[in-house]
Amino acid sequence: MGFIDEMKAKARANKKTIVLPESEDERTYKAAEAVLKEEIANVVIVGSEEEVAKNKGSYDISGAQIVDPATSDKTEAYIAKLVELRQKKGMTEEQARELLLTNYLYYGVMMVKMKDADGMVSGACHSTADTLRPCLQILKTKPGTKLVSAFFVIVVPDCDMGADGTFIFADSGLEQNPDPEKLAAIALSSADSFRLLTGKEPIVAMLSHSTKGSAKHPDVDKVVEATRIAKENAPEGLQLDGEFQLDAAIVPEVGASKAPGSPVAGKANVLVFPDLDAGNIGYKLAQRLAKAEAYGPMLQGIAKPVNDLSRGCDWQDIVGVITAVQCMAED
């Protein structure tokens, strides 16, 4: 059973409620139809009956709950809570009402905050900034987490490296040029995400163009320092090491040669890239040249599961992310 099939089975066994606020986009309805047909999750679509009727086309979403902010009996409570959360920033009741009635991303996040949904998936037709803003304002970061970052689950066919071809690549979608402390935080969050999604133990490699001092450069120094910080803050038993070139991180023979004695070298399944350029290029190389499945970008570090899609995603991508987000939701 492949990664996404395992995730779907896990999701069916413990169905959660996922809110989709982008009712203006056809991909939302195609994905919702598939999720409902496969019984992966309970689906909530935010929008008026008129908007949904206009945009859903011929897709069968009869099993979805349609929530219209203008008529929902929950809206007044959401308005009051939003004012409470943002009053130090000067938000008034009128401003909160206008925001929730006109910006469905804010409404979806409030549903998650008020426990009327377990998670939200958005970003097919909104920027990362638009998706993140309500999350950070309302849900905040996860306790003990210093920043929000993004990762991809990469599943390489016919591959015996990583966890039978499954890897996490981070940060591949959000944090542009993390300093050592941020890079360490990304590594620890990614380890948690790998364990949560796969049920397997993470083996974390801090990547560089150097392996254990083979090159000297400030960029290498950053990864060395990030590795030190991550090790200091890692939970007991977490396998994390660096700095490694990619081949030393995932190829057993190369790892044994370049980093003898390392518990991570040649065995890594969580790859932490030194910056967004490397992470983004890396996942796209794997996707296009190795024909890997790429699920994400998935956000980590937010108090509740909310995910930012790529605006170039297709409906299958949305289904995959809904499945993964549900598996990351707490009971």
Give the N- to C-terminal CA distance of the chain in Å, as an integer.
Answer: 25
**3-140+302-328 and 149-293 have identical folds:** yes
- Quick one: pLDDT at residue 246? 97
Residue 171 has pLDDT above 70, yes or no: yes
Query: Whole-number mean pLDDT of the chain?
Result: 91
Domain ranges, ordered by start, for the chain: 3-140+302-328, 149-293
- Helices and strands: H and E segment counts in the chain: 13, 11
Nearest to 243 by CA among 215, 217, 277, 206: 206
CA distance 28 to 49: 15
Confidence of residue 313 (pLDDT cuts 50, 70, 90): confident
CA distance 274 to 18: 32
Q: 193 — phi, psi (to 5°)? A: -65, -40
Residue 79 has pLDDT above 90, yes or no: yes
Overall CATH class of domain 149-293: alpha beta
Do residues 69 and 44 lie in contact, with contact meaning Cβ atoms separated by under 8 Å? no
Q: How far is CA 8 from CA 38, 85, 281, 321, in A?
A: 8, 35, 28, 11
Condensed to tens digits (0 to 9), the pLDDT of residues 174-230 reads: 889 999 999 999 999 999 999 988 889 999 999 999 999 899 999 999 999 999 999
Confidence of residue 308 (pLDDT cuts 50, 70, 90): confident
Beta bridge partners of 150: 299
Tokens of 316: 């299958």
Q: pTM for this one? A: 0.86
CA distance 196 to 201: 9
Burial (Cβ within 10 Å: 0-12, 13-18, ≥19) of residue 168: buried
Choice between 238 and 315, residue whose per-residue pLDDT is larger: 238
Q: 304 — phi, psi (to 5°)? A: -130, 160
- Quick one: pLDDT at residue 59? 93
CA atoms within 13 A on the CB side of 238: 22
CA distance 142 to 138: 12
CA distance 117 to 102: 19
| Range of weakest confidence among 57-61, 110-114, 327-331 | 327-331
Condensed to tens digits (0 to 9), the pLDDT of residues 127-147 reads: 788 888 899 899 988 888 878
Do residues 142 and 302 lie in contact, with contact meaning Cβ atoms separated by under 8 Å? yes
Do residues 154 and 317 lie in contact, with contact meaning Cβ atoms separated by under 8 Å? no
Give the angle subtended at the CA of 23 by the CAs of 19 and 25, to the nearest 5°. 120
CATH code for the part of the protein at 3-140+302-328 = 3.40.50.10950
What radius of gyration do the chain's Cα atoms show?
A: 21
Q: 239 — phi, psi (to 5°)? A: -85, 110
Indicate the residue type of 111: M
* 325 three-class SS: helix
